[in-house]
Amino acid sequence: MSHSEDINQLKLILQGEKPSVVLNRILTTNPGLDKHDLASIFLEEFCLLDSKALPLIWHWKSIKSARGISDEQFDDSILVQMREAGYFV
């Protein structure tokens, strides 16, 4: 998946898709991508967020992780931060 396709996937969050589902899809289609790269892409697209979003992504139990916060906890936390930043999610 190209960078522009990743960005298009992220926009699905604004349309109501769960962030964990979207980010796992990006990780699945980009085998070389790690969560640090994913966090950078996420903040690039959602530039109103501050750096507090980074540890959420880093510590989330994605498809590439054996441990971390659950999808539900991640979705709830990241959506709160997005709303506080002014995104309509």
How buried is 3 (Cβ within 10 angstroms: 0-12 exposed, 13-18 middle, 19+ buried)? exposed
- pTM, full prediction: 0.93
Q: What is the pLDDT of residue 1?
A: 65
Query: What residue ranges do the domains of the chain occupy?
Result: 3-85
What digits encode the pLDDT tens for the residues 55-75?
A: 999 999 999 898 999 999 999
Residue 77 clears pLDDT 80, i.e. is over it: yes
- C-alpha Rg value of the chain to the nearest Å: 12
Confidence of residue 3 (pLDDT cuts 50, 70, 90): confident
What digits encode the pLDDT tens for the residues 21-52?
A: 999 999 999 999 999 999 999 999 999 999 99
